[in-house]
Structure 1
Amino acid sequence: MNHTPCVALSLAVLSQPLLAAEGGFFEDAKASLSARNYYFSRDFSDIVGANQQSKAEEWAQGFILDFKSGYTPGTVGFGVDALGLLGIRLDSSPDRVNTGLLPVHGDGRAASEYSRLAPTFKTRLSKTELRIGELQPNLPVLAFSDIRLLPPTYQGVSVNSTELQGLTLQAGHLSSTHLRNEGGDGKMNAMLGHVPMRQAESDAFNYAGADYAFNANQTTASLWYGQLEDIYEQGFLGLKHSKPLGDWVLSANLGYYSAREDGDALLGRIDNQAFFSLFTARHGGHAFHVGYQGMYGDSPFPRVFANITPLGNEVPTYEFAYTDERSYQVRYDYNFAALGIPGLTATVRYITGDNVDTGRGFEGRDRERDIDLGYAVQSGVLKGLGIRVRNAMARSNYRSDIDENRLILVYTWQLF
């Protein structure tokens, strides 16, 4: 699906001043344009599985137009949002595709460009909002995963209500998905652990949940339900707590998932329970984290393809969510603003997992080490420019080893 002319037209229209407009619809409108330059390289040094491609390496340029209107005056307000996406190939070849940056044609070559333009219609009554169209939910059962060139989206209807102080209620019905490296949309698939289940498609994903913040917003309790129709249903119970203690801030993030097959059970029986915990201590520019995550039951962790989850030990390379896996994390963050360099941050993380039921007669083990450096220019002509460098090393005895490098440059213009 090629929407390039529509995207170009929208860029021109939305960049024009709206000074003559009246009412909250235009007065509260906002629009931004982000240019994202993304280099991705992933070497598979010990290939396991049917895909024998030894390297995925591509370079691409993306543009993300994000327009959000205000609401019309009155008891019931109406508005329209729009999301425009354009991805352009800068470097690729058939032996280095499937980075998740670009679509791949039937001949094995990456597309030279792809794009999408989609609206979201919204209405608001008091503190309750209904949205219909292009959606980007960020939920415990369907987390937002903007980790490649362009973000994924879903198509459907959602409702969000904050009528009661501290309580946020959400529900939705999603009928299709637009993947991060495609222009069109289609039905949803599942993943079990790290393995895509492309042989089964679902007509819808349904969700409902509540988050309640109390104790002066230091504590949040969450209860959620998600259903990928005819594949799986999943419940989530979460608790987050943060407490200042002298010059330190201590926090905990605990979560429990339980999943089973749903309806026609297109992927067969699913039996998974997952527990994660992540404890953090912050002091000045320092943040120290330790975490434990465990998979229980006869199945890996289920999710919508190619979604991520808020599991404490999930990272963009390995998920540590296969059958019976137990994993442990140590992580250190530093914000260089404490040294007078605002905008510069660093992260070092190590995760190790074992006890994996590989189904091949041996115990699966894996480990990963990540280093992330990021810098956001704070002032001057380059304000709005962000740079991120990521290096990852992942090793396993039951899936492919990975050596990975990413370089991401993002520049954002606030159009109005």
Structure 2
Amino acid sequence: MNIIDIPRFIKEYITKRPTSLFAPDIEKYKQELSEIIQGKNVLVIGGAGTIGSSYIKAVLAFKPGKLVVVDTNENGLTELTRDLRSTPNQFVPEQYITYPMSFGDSVFEKMFLTHGPFHIVANFAAHKHVRSEKDQFSIEAMIENNVFKAKSFLDLLLKHKPERFFCVSTDKAANPVNVMGASKKLMEEVIMAYSSEIQITTARFANVAFSNGSLLAGYIERLFKNQPISCPNDVKRFFVSPEESGQICMLACMLGKSGEIFFPKLEEEEQVYFKAITEDFFKASNREIALCNSDEDARVKALTLNESVPYPVYFFTSDTSGEKLYEEFYTDSDEVDLQQFESLGVIKNARKLPMEAIEKCVNDLHQLMNSGNYDKQIIVENLKKYLPDFQHIETGKGLDQKM
């Protein structure tokens, strides 16, 4: 099968933008960005993922003096280094070090203190999939990573304050309907409690087209393995390219005021159905689709797959827990500034709870999870106490039950 040019496909069929959405603001603030970044020590946590690595490339354009990258994905760090070293005209500082470790490990603090002080710190380490919402154990791991570790790291940063700290969020934090979105909303609440002491910003942004582990990236894997493709026919999303995902985080980190939440200025009509992307993907690949009636029908058709027959695709109606048919970046109660930047909106009035309230919330969740007497529903009900806009959608079905 013809393997298409993915970056070109994203521009022509998904974002429908020939150049980056954020190019005008990067150009406008180029001098300021250079003054903030050039020669500085930068730490990126979760830097091997799609967004983290794209952020690194956006920052490297302004020549930092030192770059330390931490990620639990050892293979991902290897590929990041190969990518940076293999890209023509790519600036990489002489002091460039990668560490395969968790930012929750004790060895991380030793590394942090040795290589610091860091002027710019960005955290991309997160559970990001709605798929991770399975039971109490997967949810506890999600909250541990997205909330507890983030808070512990902020306590460390209080003692060694950077000039700027960025922690990535998600569009699913606005009116969350799944635990992943709720955990990131709670993360926002946690970091905002520190925003009077540390220069902190965050960003909610759209789906990153063909990002690691995404539905669209899975298409490439399925094709290589001659496996069928399945896709929801009723779900639409905002999309940014991998390059754009790093740029919005870089702009938010460097140009935002403490406590601000950034998001891309995209109109509702720019949302794209996954079904439409899938159809375009096969058109661009010069391959017809064989519509299937079920997962099993698709798997059976895949048994006789070859280049001369249509590719089996199953379009289904979404029926899994925590699945929102559309996305949004802010709520009616948010004070939004759409004038400051050409490509970015900014939420100015993010709730900033007193530290005592955050400590109580985190301690209550710790106590619940250490009790041994909890399940998914009990965790959801506890999260609702602290997140009034969390309206969980429970269907009893999870994404792991689908292809």
Q: Same fold (TM over 0.5)?
A: no
Q: Which has the higher helix share?
A: 2
TM-score in terms of structure 2 length: 0.30
TM-score in terms of structure 1 length: 0.29
Q: Which has the higher strand share?
A: 1
